[in-house]
Structure 1
């Protein structure tokens, strides 16, 4: 479970849906971004995903 009790803590939830990371997501990706881009995109896209995950403080 998500540490915030919202849903199952999986990749999709963390990168796309978790309400506790909504502001971080908007800061990193101001426009809606498909999860495929966040996981399999360009080197720049993957760097953004890595930065976002570091900001969350989650251990993945």
Structure 2
């Protein structure tokens, strides 16, 4: 249980640091997408694939 808590806290800290760095350097999410030549449709597709993978994983350990 303690490992899950520590991992979650580390993830929250990483997200906060990333957001603060983005604010400091004036970087936006749209700017990052443009820099890497990505579209919102591609990102949503990746999230959909990740969600399906997670559901399959969850169903396999039921």
TM-score scaled by length of structure 2 = 0.27
Which entry has the higher C-alpha Rg, 1 or 2? 2
**Structure showing greater relative contact order (alpha-carbon pairs closer than 8 Å, 6 or more residues apart):** 1
**Higher share in helix:** 2
TM-score scaled by length of structure 1 = 0.28
